[in-house]
Chain A
C-alpha cells in the first residue's frame, strides 16, 4: 500500500483556497439560475405563446446537451463572437447559471401549479392584479413547497461545478490536480478534494434543513 499524504500537506492550504472559488461559482450560478428560472417558469405558465415556446425550447436545449459542452462553448464563444475577454470564473457562473435555470424553471413551474387554484381565485376576487398575485401570493407559497428541491439543485451545482477544471478555473478540483502535477502524486490531493466536497455538501444540507424549518413557521 502506497498512500502518503506527507508530501502534499504543505499544499493543502492551496487546495482549501479553492473553496472560495467553488462557492463563488455555485452561489453566482444559483442566483442567475433562480432569477432566470422564475422568469422562464412565468413564461411557461403564461398565456403568451411565443414566450412559452421560447422557454420550452430553452429548457430542452440546456437539458439536452452536456453541461461541460455548454461550459466550453460559452468559454470559446464569448471572446470569438463578441470580442470580449472573459475569465474562467465568470464564464463558469454564466454557464452554470443558464444551465441550472432550465432545471430550476421546471421545479418552479411544478411548484406554482401545485398551489391550490383557490388561492388564485381568492386573489382575483379581491381585485389583485396578476403580477402582484404571482409575486405576493402564488410564488411565495410555491417557493416554500419547492425549497427542498431548490436546495438539492444548489448542492448538485456545488459538486458539479468541479467540471470548471476544463476551462482552468482555480476551484478545489483544479487545485488538487495542480498539486498532483507538482508532487507527482495525484491520488492524495484528489482524496483531499473529495473530502472537502463531501464536507461542503454536509454543511449545505444542514443549512438547507435550517432554512426549511424557518419557512415552516406558518404551518
Chain B
C-alpha cells in the first residue's frame, strides 16, 4: 500500500552532513518504490518556499528562523499552522521525523500525534545522560517520542541508548543502518570531476604523487570536539615522531582546526600533514583513494558513515571503539582501538606494517564486500516495512 510520507527535519540540503544525505537518499528510494514523499525543513537564507528536486521530490522550506546550529526554536506551536497546512495539502499518512537535534522534527511528531497520523522517528546520534544539554534534550525526546508510534535507530547501540533516554519500549524501536552509495566510492586512481577546476586539482593532496615514498593516512571529519580532534592531535604528534614514512591528509573544517595548525607548526610537519579545509561532497572520493589508511578518532558515534565510505574505497580503517562503530564493519576490515593516544598509534602502526608487508587485502575485493553490505534501496524497503506495521497498528 503506497503511503504519503512527510519527512521532517531541520537539516536538509543545502546544509551538508550525514542526516541531510540520509533524508535525501531515503526519500529518493521511497519515491522509487511508489510512495509519495515530501520533505519539510526550515528556510536556508533566501531558499524559502517550495522547491522541487530530482524525481519531483517536493521540499517545503518553511520560513522559520534557525536559532542555534541550524535548529529552529523548540516552541512547539510556531510551526503548527504551516505543518498542518502541509499535512492537509499532501494528504500525509505517515510523518517521518529525523534527528534528535532538530526541533522541527519534535514539533512534527507532537502535531502528528494530535492529528492522529502515524509517526516514525529516526535517531541519528548517541547522547550522554549527565550534562545539561543531554538532560534537556532527553526530556524533550521523552515528551515527543511519547506520541511517536515507532522509532528507528541506525545501530543496536543507538537503539539501547534511545530506549533508555526516551523511556520507549525497545519493542517499538527498529534498527535500520545507514547506507552508502557504493558506486560513488570505488577504488582506483583519482579521476577528478570533469567540472572541477584546475584549482581543485592543485588543492588535492600531493601525497597522491608520493604514494611510493610511504603510507598516507587520511582523516576526513568535521573538526569539532565530538570527533576527537584533540585525540587526533596527540596521535599525530606521536606518529610523526616515531614513524617517518607516514604522511597525513586531513579534510574538513571546524573550530578545532587551530589545534591541528598549531601542532603542525610546533613539530614542523608542513611537508607531512596536509590540511585540505572544507571538502565538497564530490571531492571526498578523490581524497580517499589517495590514501592507504583511514583514521577515525570520534569520541561518540551512532553509525560512522565515513568509515564505510573509506572501506568502500578499499582503505584500511582504524577507528576508536565507541558507540555503534563495531557494528558497522566486520572485524577483518576494521582495526578497533581504545580511545587513547597510545592504543590508536599502535593500531595505525600495525595497519601500516601490514600494508608495507603486502599482507593487506586487495582494494577491489574490499570494495566488493562492502558494496554488498549496504544499499539505500534495502534501507528504503526496511523503512517501508516499519511504516506498514506502523499504519496497521494505527488503524486498529
Q: Do A and B come from one complex?
A: no
